[in-house]
Structure 1
């Protein structure tokens, strides 16, 4: 593992360079994954596939991403962070190239699978690297790193609109691949770690025993799953809820969706910085309560402007959670298994969180969107209670 440096600079110096490099890599991965959504009509028309077939590709990408979280963290502990990060970026570059060049649906699925593998190897190792490099400024470092993913969401929206105006959907992946390769070369040059390629046991039973056998970690795992459930459900259906469920129009839904990522890019570093000075339990519970209250305001909103303002407040509360909680978890896990433990948690809560869109879609079909979103408000309140009781 990378040795923690005495100078914890956030941009310059050894730690700062690696933080920036790992964060830009995560930005590129997120931009490449998220840019598929706004371009989906063009993708399905070009490849002559149905929405259901496109959904299979998304499920394959996200499923492999979730599945690889634990192996990524565990192997980054056993081998080196550098090995996992560069391998992940290489696979991502190959996968996005395959997507851009896909002549058929089968090739498109192959590209999605390779992207899922690369994306799955990267983020847990990157977060473990941040934990290695920072102690006093760990909250700020996590805030900056996690915010890079939200900047990737903002970049995806702009990239999709720009590319479709001047070229075909395939061109959107060219800058993503270029950035991934530049970051790969940078991490290869900057990191003092060695490459380690050898077989290592994953020790799944021991890791799950620590997580599920410890009441505190068990409670936090359930809390994080409820958070992920709410986030993935909201990201999938918030525009549709505002457009169809509340009749506010396409522009309102688009503005609210963009606000989720734009606010996150600002809030995550801010929350991370505050967590270095304010008790993390206080900050985390407060952010979850703000998110729950604001989401309730979204459900009750009768005017588009009020709904968008409520979404901004909701995003501020929701996006404050990850950097603070991940910093807390990395401090709580044993140092020799921190990456693997975080990876195991991510596999579980991302996998359970993927049920969020299914829940909203099902409840909206059987009843309505308001009832579905009230359920998400309840999930955030339970999450806040669990964090308060277990941290």
Structure 2
């Protein structure tokens, strides 16, 4: 590998590190619900509402962050997002009322929400020939943040003596140290990104409109959906997001209640769904070589067939269900980086950031709606009909993607 390629990968590493921290903070909250309740004496509903606020702000940041990046460039938006997240994390240092802590969670949501949409735009410009591979690596780093967060929570809540000496200096509970460390790393990453990345970018990789060009308007972004192929692909992403998020929310319960597995076995199979995240490195690279649609259709087809199988053979035993869950994970994770690469190529250059932000807002909205719908259907008719609905949504995504491929 020559020196130029090593320099190029500086951008990928720093961008992925910030995404790792964003996912790390998000997935650190659920394991901390019990310690938060113990520290503040609040109910499940109050803690859940605070986390919902975090996620709502995160979702709402997708479009404005992309639109701002279209105007001022991606580097400043990514660095600012990391800095805001770092400040929000450091606010946990202080022993404040729960309302203040909930406000800090909103700040964290805003900071972390500014990253993904803009990062996809930046990486696609820096690595135009290897966009799929770059996005696969970026998303894999993020998934590893979700893997590391629960272990880090255990480490800080049940701190060994060496770490406890540091944590004992913090006000209140030991779990605060997790956010203090994360905040420091986030601020350092923001500075490193802002200082190092601009000099590593080729050509106009971070350009916004030039002085003689007007900035994009809201009408410009809405006009994107007049393109029927783009609108159809948005349907693919929304249907996939609905199916995936609904499945992730209730799969352990489905495996326990409908498949008759023990809680431990259901949890093990659930972990396998995320353990195969490294497939993103392969699917992204393959899409660079073979084209976006062949890989997307294959990934969605595997995921849809697996989820249909989970519904059809609910009593098939742990081995059969384990194979199906792994296949579901391979297809679902494999689709993600290729989706991002296709969208950024399909959108006009000057509208790429905000356009991707609109799409991500829609798909995240569908993902947020899915658990409510699945829970409601399950209460009325049971989990198999609810998962049948999710399987149908995933099959719809695969069929529409196949149609787009055949009509290219």
TM-score between the two structures when normalised by the length of structure 1: 0.91
The answer to whether the 8 A contact 2:258-2:314 is kept is no
2:79 alignment partner in structure 1: 86
Structure 2: unaligned runs, 5 residues or longer = 165-173, 200-205, 209-213
2:203 alignment partner in structure 1: none
The answer to whether the 8 A contact 2:92-2:180 is kept is no
1:277 alignment partner in structure 2: 289
1:225 alignment partner in structure 2: 238
Cα distance in 1 for partners of 2:95, 2:397 equals 42
Size of the aligned set, in residue pairs, is 378
Deviation (angstroms), 1:84: 0.4
Residue from 295, 298, 313 that aligns with 2:307: 295
Q: Which portions of structure 1, spanning 4 or more consecutive aligned residues, are displaced by more than 4 angstroms?
A: 193-196
Residue from 361, 373, 377 that aligns with 1:359: 373
Deviation (angstroms), 1:288: 0.7
- Can you list the C-alpha shifts for 1:180-218, whole angstroms capped at 9, x where unaligned? 12321221221227999xxx96622210111x2111111
CA RMSD of aligned residues (A): 2.2
Residue from 173, 177, 185 that aligns with 2:179: 173
1:3 alignment partner in structure 2: none
Cα distance in 2 for partners of 1:146, 1:375 equals 27
The answer to whether the 8 A contact 1:34-1:156 is kept is yes
The answer to whether the 8 A contact 2:216-2:350 is kept is no
The answer to whether the 8 A contact 1:99-1:107 is kept is no
Structure 1: unaligned runs, 5 residues or longer = 1-5
The answer to whether the 8 A contact 1:66-1:120 is kept is yes
Cα distance in 2 for partners of 1:390, 1:91 equals 40
1:121 matched to 2:114? The reply is yes
Deviation (angstroms), 1:348: 1.4
1:152 matched to 2:145? The reply is yes
Deviation (angstroms), 1:222: 1.4
Larger mean CA deviation between 249-258 and 147-156 belongs to 249-258
* Greater C-alpha radius of gyration: 2
The answer to whether the 8 A contact 1:82-1:195 is kept is no
Larger mean CA deviation between 241-250 and 61-70 belongs to 241-250
2:403 alignment partner in structure 1: 389
2:202 alignment partner in structure 1: none
What SS does structure 2 have at the residue aligned with 1:246?
A: coil
Cα distance in 2 for partners of 1:332, 1:293 equals 28
1:58 matched to 2:51? The reply is yes
Residues 217 and 247 from structure 1, CA distance in 2 versus in 1: closer, same or farther, beyond 3 angstroms? same
